[in-house]
Chain A
Amino acid sequence: MASKAEFLKSVPYFSPMSPAELEQIGSLFFEKRCQRDEIILLEEELAEALYIVVSGVVKIFKTSADGKEQILAIIRPGESFNEVPMFDGGLNPASAQAMGQVLLYGLGKDELDYVLKNYPQLASRVIKVMAGRMRHLVLLVEDLSFRQVIGRVARILLENAGDGAGPSPQLTQRDMAAMAGTVREVVSRSLKTLEEEGAIKMDRHRIIILDKKILQKIVGPFFETKVTDRG
């Protein structure tokens, strides 16, 4: 395992720093180990630290009142999370969960303030990372709020369905996201919603269309011109 300083060199925030600076900054981080499925942060709780993933994967998500989960981001090694409450002093805006064994480096509020005060050049790196994060979230908000992505997913299912007898195209959720012009997280949510509405059933590697009419209704009137006679 690389030292903290060596690892931090690979993190976008800290890549321009000198080895001596990285040594000093590294000493401010604490280590946190998490087991699979362990909740690292809970939405609406007091924020304790900004975290950087050293190894493993962390899921950032929000849960609705009726228990539906929306993944906001997948955080991989070298990436950070929970900056927002560390900068605005608010509560955790989302929850975080370990998707396997995870090692994190955490930086508390006082330590973060110290780093930013003593290494002001880091601020521009922080802004760049936060801007990229905001760009992703704006796309997610747009898809979840304004665009009928579920209709496009329903159309993709209808247009690519086989009768089970012969070969039919196989599509990953990534493929469907590219076809629908959205992100994978939204496709995943759309499929769950379609399953809850009884239109489809997810059966391991098969998506079984149980009720074509429900899908056609979700797609809307424009659907008729293209796929009416199929299946």
Chain B
Amino acid sequence: MMKPQIDLGKCDGCGLCIGVCTRHNLVLVDGVVAFVEVIECDWCTICEAVCPRGAISCPFDIVILE
């Protein structure tokens, strides 16, 4: 299961991503953010957009359907 990637080296635990996650899938553990999938992540990428340190990434696979 794909999940947002968290760079623990960059995360300063500000928690902005936790507040914006509509699925409540992000929590603070030992001062940094962790992903705990409560409801399947819909890849809205808002967590990535709000992170001031670029610590969360929601990468896309790009595939051609032929």
Give the B-binding residues of A (Cβ under 8 A).
36, 55-57, 74, 76-77, 99-101, 157, 160-164, 168-175, 184, 188, 204-210, 212, 231
Q: Note all chain A residues with C-beta closer than 8 A to B62.
A: 157, 160-162, 168-169, 171, 206-207, 209
A163 to B52, CA, bound (A): 34
Q: Note all chain B residues with C-beta closer than 8 A to A210.
A: 65
Contact A204–B59 (Cβ < 8 Å): no
Contacts between the two chains (Cβ within 8 Å), count: 98
B38 on the A face (CB < 8 A): no
Number of residues from B at the complex interface, CB < 8 A: 27
Q: How far is the CB of A162 from chain B (nearest CB, A)?
A: 6
A207 and B65 in contact, given A36-B22, A99-B20, A172-B48 (Cβ under 8 angstroms): no
Of B22, B42, B61, the contact of A168 (CB 8 Å cutoff): B61
Q: Note all chain A residues with C-beta closer than 8 A to B58.
A: 172-173, 205
Contact A172–B59 (Cβ < 8 Å): yes
Give the A-binding residues of B (Cβ under 8 A).
2, 14, 16, 19-22, 41-43, 45-46, 48-50, 52, 54, 57-66
Q: How far is the CB of B43 from chain A (nearest CB, A)?
A: 5
A48 to B28, CA, bound (A): 35
Q: How far is the CB of A95 from chain B (nearest CB, A)?
A: 17
Q: Note all chain A residues with C-beta closer than 8 A to B48.
A: 172-174
Q: How far is the CB of A159 from chain B (nearest CB, A)?
A: 9
Q: A76-B16, A161-B63, A208-B63 are in contact. List 19 more A-B contacts (CB 8 A).
A: A56-B19, A56-B20, A57-B19, A77-B14, A77-B16, A100-B21, A101-B19, A162-B63, A164-B61, A168-B62, A173-B48, A173-B60, A174-B57, A175-B59, A184-B49, A206-B60, A206-B63, A209-B62, A212-B64
